[in-house]
Amino acid sequence: MAGCQRIVDVTGTVLLDGKPVKGVIVVFDPPSTDQPRGVASTDENGVYRLRRLGPGSKPGVPTGSYKVKVMSDMDNPGGGRIPEKYYRDSPLTRDVSGPSPHTYDIELSTK
C-alpha cells in the first residue's frame, strides 16, 4: 500500500571536510524500484531539500531506508567536486522516520 506511506520532508547540509558544498546533487535511493527516489541540489550554503522524482516532483520522501549518494553536478561548473566513492558505491545510508521535517546533515571526506 505505497499510497498510504507517510511522506517526510528531508533537509540538511552537505559538508566536505567540514565545509558546506554548493551545487552538488543528493540522491536518496530506496531499496525497491517501485518507490520514488528523493533528489535535491545544494544551494550556496550546502543546504538541500529532497523532492520525490516522478509526476509533480513533490517535496519529501516516504518513510523507509535509503542508500544516500552525493555527486558533483556536471551541469554546474561552479559546484563542488565530490569523491567518487560517495556515488559509485556509497557507504552512506539513512532511515527516514519520525517527525517532519527530518534533518540529515551529510558529512563527507576527501581522505
**pLDDT tens digits for range 5-46:** 789 999 999 999 999 999 999 999 998 888 889 999 999 999
| Interatomic CA distance for residues 7 and 58, integer angstroms | 10
Residue 110 covered by a domain = no
Q: What is the pLDDT of residue 4?
A: 60
Per this entry, what is the length of the chain?
111
Residue 107 covered by a domain = no
Residue 59: how many CB atoms within 10 A of its CB? Answer: 17
Q: Total domain count for the chain?
A: 1
Of the pLDDT bands very low, low, confident and very high (cuts 50, 70, 90), residue 79 is: confident
Backbone angles phi, psi at 71, to 5 degrees: -140, 155
Residue 24 covered by a domain = yes
Q: What is the pLDDT of residue 57?
A: 77
Residue 104 covered by a domain = no
pLDDT tens sequence across 36-72: 899 999 999 999 999 998 766 799 999 999 999 999 9
* Residue range of the domain that includes 19: 2-98
Long-range CB contacts (within 8 A, 24+) of 28-34: 28/61, 28/66, 28/67, 28/68, 28/94, 28/96, 29/66, 29/67, 29/68, 29/69, 30/61, 30/62, 30/64, 30/65, 30/66, 31/64, 31/65, 31/66, 31/67, 34/2
pLDDT > 90? residue 104: yes
pLDDT > 60? residue 3: no
